[in-house]
Amino acid sequence: MGFIEDDQRLMAAVESAKSPVEKLALLAGSALEGETAMAEATGLERAEIALRIAATHAVMAVETDDVEAAEHTVVWAGRCVDVARHHNAAIVHYVPRAAALCASVLDHVGSDLQAPAIDTVRGWLRGYARALGEIAAKTAEADRLALVALAAEGVDGAEELATVARRDAAAAYQAIGDFETATTFTPFL
């Protein structure tokens, strides 16, 4: 079973752990497993893995008030952003999460590192805002196609129009990383 599948069950396992030591062991083991997965992964999946590792460290930082875990959180969140920055949809998805994880451990990092960490994340947010504008515009375009598709449904003589609009809307949603919405239009093609 892969790291991500394990990670999806990690918090439940941590929740049912009998002792704090067992909890930390699970979290630390997951972080190590994530690092291994990170080395083997490619493309944007590395952003996913990095974010998960950052989240693991964030939990450890809060549970143990551990400075090192807090720093690990920030660095892994940064690695997530470093991968995600190559794709607007990834930026829009990962940057707020990574930034939130960083913010969540600020209390636990060394006081000398808080201000630079905040400024670093602020830089991420600037990129996030730019990507957001582009994604928003493309989302609006996809929405318009989807509206045409939905409106054409059930109109006699507009079957081809509905099909083409559905196809275009699905493609447009997919292009911006909105796979779930894209799926709702795809099966009718």
Partner 1 sequence: MGRKTVTYTIDKVPAKLRWYPRLSGWGLFFGAIGGVGGAIFLQQAGVRVLTRTLLLQSLSAAVVPGLIIPSFIYFVAVRAYNWRLRRYLRSPRGRAVSAATLAATLVIAGITLVSSAPPAYATVTGPCRVTLNGINVAPLTPTADDAIIVDIDGDLTGRLEFPSEIDGGSIDVMYGGFAAFNFQQWDDVVNDEDAVDTGGGAESRTVQTSVIARYAAGVYDVYGAVVFENGESCEVAFAFKIDAPPLEVPLGQGAAGAAALGLLGTLGVALGRSREGAALLAGLDHHLGTLPIPDPLDDDPIGSEREPLDHGPVTAFPGEEQPATETEAPTVFIERGATPVPDLSFDDPDRDDLPASSNTEMSTGEGDAPADPSSLVSFDETPVDATPAAPVPVPAPMSEPQDFLGRDTADSVASTVAVVQQAGRNLDTLAGDLGVPDDIRDSVRARIKPAAERLEGVKAAAERARDAVDWAKDIGDDTERRLAGLGVPQGLRDGIVWMRGMFGWVGGIAEDAAATYLAPVTEPIGKMLGMKPATVAAELFPVGEFGTQLGDMVIKGAENIKGGENYGGQLGELAPDVPGDAGNTGLDEIFGPNRWGR
Q: Using CB under 8 A, which residues numbered 117 to 176 contact partner 1? A: 117-141, 143-148, 150-152, 155-158, 160-161, 164-165, 168, 174-176
Residues 6+ apart with CB under 8 A from 115: none
At position 145, the amino acid (one-letter code) is: L
Distances (CA, A) of 118 to 66, 84, 130, 163: 19, 19, 19, 48
CA distance 110 to 130: 31
> 124 φ, ψ to 5°?
-60, -45
103 with 120: CB under 8 angstroms?
no
State in angstroms the smallest separation of the CB of 142 from partner 1.
Answer: 10
Nearer to partner 1, 18 or 52 (CB): 52
- Residues 35-74 binding partner 1 (CB under 8 A) are 35, 38-39, 42-52, 55-56, 58-59, 61-62, 71-72, 74
CA distance 14 to 20: 9
Total site size for partner 1, rule CB under 8 A: 117
- Residues 72-101 binding partner 1 (CB under 8 A) are 72, 74-76, 78-97, 99-101
State in angstroms the smallest separation of the CB of 21 from partner 1.
Answer: 18
| DSSP line for 84-133 | HTTSHHHHHHHHHHHHHHHHHHTTTS-HHHHHHHHHHHHHHHHHHHHHHH
Lookup result for tokens 């990574």: 98
Nearer to partner 1, 19 or 51 (CB): 51
